[in-house]
Amino acid sequence: MAEGIMKKFYGADTYVQSVGVRNDMEIDGFSIAVCKEIGVELSRHRSRSFDEMEQWGDDLSSFDLVIALSPASQRRALELTRYFHLDVEYWPVLDPSGLGETREAKLESYRQSREQIIARLTDRWGAPEGAE
């Protein structure tokens, strides 16, 4: 969600790459649904792990900032970047997977995560262009 929202809000001027501790490849359908509500298309997005990122040629040392959304990803990012001059920020965002009993309750959990991500992005980089 964070990569898609970042690209929607701030365009292609910044290189953004979503990566996680492990790779689930398929994006969760609830993430797709709640991002679609705000005009962010995730259906073709695929996730990848830190290891895959390196295998596919993205060198972490070429990034300026890593934003971790879970304690596990923060630990992995700090471990992988300890010799690089780049910042690692931890943004504690609700992990909605496994929350909610009904479809609507699950969607509400994902919406909460989406809104937390939006709040963090706008706190860090300001309101997106064209926002009121």
Where exactly are the structural domains of the chain?
Answer: 2-125
- What DSSP designation does 119 have? H
Phi, psi of 126 (to 5 degrees): 85, 175
Taking only the tens place, the pLDDT of each residue in 27-60 is: 788 999 999 999 999 988 777 777 777 776 666 7
- The pLDDT assigned to 92 comes to 93
Beta carbons of 14 and 5 less than 8 angstroms apart: no
**Beta-bridge partner residues of 20:** 49
pLDDT given for residue 27 in this prediction = 78
Residue 41 has a pLDDT of 93
User: Residue 60's pLDDT is what?
Assistant: 72
Fold of 2-125: Rossmann fold (3.40.50)
Listed as ranges, residues in the chain with pLDDT below 50 are 132
- Token pair belonging to 114: 């989406």
